[in-house]
Every structure is written in C-alpha cells, then in structure tokens.
Amino acid sequence: MSRVYNFSAGPAVLPEEVLKQAAAEMLDYNGSGMSINEMSHRSKTFDKVIETAEQDIRDLMNIPDNYKVLFLQGGASQQFAAVPMNLMQNKKAAYIVTGQWAKKALAEAKKYGDAIEVASSADKTFSYIPDCSDLAIPEDADYVYICENNTIYGTKFKKLPNTKGHILVSDVSSCFLSEPVNVNDYGVIYGGVQKNVGPAGLVISIIREDLIRDDVPDFVPTMLKWKTQADNGSLYNTPNCWAIYMCGLVFKWLKEQGGLSEMQKRNEEKAALLYNFLDNSKLFKGTVRAEDRSLMNVPFVTGSDELDAKFVAEATANGLVSLKGHRTVGGMRASIYNAMPKEGVQKLVDFMESFEKANS
Ligand SMILES: *Cc1c(COP(=O)(O)O)cnc(C)c1O
C-alpha cells in the first residue's frame, strides 16, 4: 500500500487513523456483527452513533444549547435552496458574492424572493474579500449571506461582515472545523462535510432555534423544511448513516489532536510554509490578496499554462496529487485541510523549489 499526499479540494484527504478504524470496523461494528452500512438507522446502535457525533461537534465548536445541529443530505448545494425557503419571511435577502459558490447560492435564492447582491469581488476574479463594514443592507432583509472560505479562489473572511443587526448565514464548507468560531455570531452555519470533515453526501447545518419555523411557505418540500429535520433528530427519513459515522470518527480524532485551537495552530503553520515560499519564489506566485488568504485552499500559478501543466504532471509522478486548479481558474491549487500533515506541505514546497531550479 502506498498513500499519496492528496491536495484535492473535495472529496479530500481524511485522517489515516480514521480510515484505519473504519476499515477495522467494517465487518463488525462494535460487536453488532454487522457493518454500519447494514444497520437500521433506528437501531439503538445507530442512535448512539448519531448522538455521540452531535455531542462531539457541540463540544468541538462550543455550540450553544439554543442551536440545533442537523445532519442532512443534498450537500451544501441543497442548502442554497433550503436557506431562502426557511428564512425568507419578508422575501428579501442580502448576498455577498465572493466566488462561484456564493453566486450559485444567490441564483438559487432569487427563485424564492428578492435576493440582492450587496457586495462582490467579481471585478478582480474574486481574488479578495470586499470591504463589508458598511454595506447597503435593506432594512427588511431576512438575512445576510456569505461563503466564508472560497474553495475555488482561496479567499477567506478574516472578519465577519457588519450585518447591521440582521442574521448572518454562512457556508463554511471548506473551513469547517479548521479553527475555533463563535457560533453566536451566526444565525446559520452550514457546510458540506466532504471538504474538511468527512465523506461526501452529508451537510451539517447548525441553526439558531428561533430560525427553525413552522410557518414556511406551503411549497417548501417536507424534506427541506428545517423543522421537519429538527423535530425528528435528523431521522425523518433514512440519513447518510455512513457519512455520519465517519464524521463521528473525525470528531473524536479532532478531540484527541487537541481540538480546534490546535487545528488552527497547525493550519496556520502549514499555510505559512506554502505562502512564505510563494512570496519568495521567482517562478510561482499566489493569486490572492495577502490579507484575505485562506488557510485551507491555496491557488498559485507560474504564469505559463504549459509550465503549470508540466508542474502538475511531475508533482503527480512524485506522489503529490490533485494539484490542478479549478477548471474555471486554471493554474494550481493546494488544498491543505486538517488531515493534511505538515510533512505533506513540506514535501510540496521542496518539490516546488526543485521544479523552480530546473525550469528557470
Ligand atoms: C464544495 C462546496 C459547495 C458544494 O458542495 P456540495 O456538497 O457538492 O453541494 C458549496 N460551497 C462551498 C464553499 C464548497 O466548497
């Protein structure tokens, strides 16, 4: 067996310890004589899995009691629709557009109400986070929406927008559990877990209780009504049992590693390794304004499509894989999530150094 250093943006690298534990438990989960994949979601054994997972993410993120944690299907993209369906009382919302994912969320919200763009960084290919200290947010907006870490462009909100008293909804898919957050700053935090937490097919939504309402429009599908899911402990129908179990293992792993402050420390160290190299390189350069750089997704280019392609191919041959940039941006992107060890980033930097020597 030979594992590579996997820089994929998602689905992405998972902690090796977690994969080994899942493999060891595959045929017989905890003495049940069956796999978690073969078990009723209404069994006592699975109850314990989902309850423990919820408690562990509550501990990790310090989630207040007046927030619900929902384990849902349909990915982050399904929440693009669920958010306006559940929150648009006045049929008005303010979106800050910092990349493709926010753009898609805005387009989806427009189907259900008056969703307006109040800030954007499209003018410079989403390479920065706009100033959000004094936005023209309509008085009667139901919420302000951000994509907190922009997976494709590699930017991150270092400071949350001034919402002027409106609730904040944040898509944290690619920075989920990468650092401590103050849950009270948000009305809704949600993320697809396949970036920084677990396998594909699960989105976790953390929602302030008073925002989970019964009086949503009639057209809202039962499954997309947060109240349905909250009232049924995410077990209204069959959930993604496997992904919930895997996330549970990752939560335990995160706790053993020292929790989210420790993750932040490691993520800052890893990102600094790469950004410092980029800042001093004559061949490679980062594409994001320095103060808005993501700790998770690091896009970079050589300036030549040909050299970019050569770099990706040679890196792959050296066990450094999935470094090709998003199809809409080109160049390279290294996603260095929680489970990417520092040695992986060091190897990448060493390889970039030798590539630079050989090609200048
Ligand atoms: C990947 C991603 C999505 C889409 O996630 P799906 O689970 O595939 O719907 C949404 N937002 C962000 C920030 C992402 O990185």
The answer to whether residues 153 and 125 touch, using CB atoms and an 8 Å cutoff, is yes
Please, is 100 exposed, middle or buried when counting C-beta atoms within 10 Å of its C-beta (0-12, 13-18, 19+)?
A: middle
Q: Which residues have any ligand 1 atom within 6 Å of their CB?
A: 10, 75-77, 101, 147, 151, 171, 173-174, 192, 195
Q: What is the pLDDT of residue 329?
A: 81
Pocket test for ligand 1, best of 8, 71, 77, 176 (most atoms within 8 A of CB): 77
- Ligand 1 pocket mutation, candidates 129, 148, 170, 174, criterion most atoms within 8 A of CB: 174
CATH number of 258-358: 3.90.1150.10
**Which residue puts its alpha carbon closest to atom 3 of ligand 1?**
76
The gap between the terminal CA atoms of the chain, to the nearest Å, is 35
User: Catalytic site residue 164?
Assistant: no
Query: What is the whole-number distance in angstroms between the Cα of residue 358 and the centre of ligand 1?
Result: 37
Report whether pLDDT(1) > 80: no
Residue 147, SS3? strand
Nearest CA to ligand 1 atom 2: 173
Q: Residue 308's pLDDT is what?
A: 97
Rounded Cα–Cα distance for residues 33 and 39 (Å)? 10
Determine the topology of domain 16-256 in CATH.
Aspartate Aminotransferase; domain 2 (3.40.640)
Percent of the chain having pLDDT more than 90? 98
Catalytic residue among 56, 142, 171, 308: 171
Q: Count CB-CB contacts under 10 A for residue 266.
A: 19
101 catalytic per annotation? yes
**What are the backbone dihedrals phi and psi of residue 93, each rounded to the nearest 5 degrees, phi first?**
-150, 155
User: Rounded distance, CA 131 to CA 271, Å?
Assistant: 23
Rounded Cα distance, 62 and 210, in Å: 19
Q: How far is the CA of 171 from the centre of ligand 1 (A)?
A: 8
Distance between Cα 264 and ligand 1 center (Å): 21
CA of residue 86 to ligand 1 center, whole Å: 19
Average pLDDT, the chain: 97
Percent of the chain having pLDDT more than 70? 100
* pLDDT tens-digit map of 259-281: 999 999 999 999 999 999 999 99
- Give the pLDDT mean for 38-46: 97
Query: Which ranges in the chain are annotated with CATH 3.90.1150.10?
Result: 258-358
Q: Note the pLDDT tens digit of each residue in 284-330.
A: 999 999 999 999 999 999 999 999 999 999 999 999 999 999 987 88
Please name the amino acid found at residue 285: K
Work out which ligand 1 atom sits closest to the CA atom of 200. 7
Overall average pLDDT of the 139-161 stretch: 98
d(CA 93, CA 88): 7
pLDDT per residue as tens digits for the range 210-254? 999 999 999 999 999 999 999 999 999 999 999 999 999 999 999
Q: pTM score, two decimals? A: 0.98
332-335 β-sheet, strand order: 285-286, 297-301, 332-335
Q: How far is the CA of 208 from the centre of ligand 1 (A)?
A: 21
Query: Contact, 150 vs 97, CB < 8 A?
Result: no
Task: Please list the residue range(s) of the chain that carry CATH number 3.40.640.10.
Answer: 16-256
83 sits in which H/E element? helix 75-87
Q: How much is the pLDDT for 327?
A: 81
Q: How confident is the model at residue 32, as a pLDDT?
A: 96
Q: Is residue 234 a contact partner of residue 203, using CB atoms and an 8 Å limit?
A: no
Q: Which of 173, 177, 203, 204 to mutate to test the pocket of ligand 1 (most atoms within 8 A of CB)?
A: 173
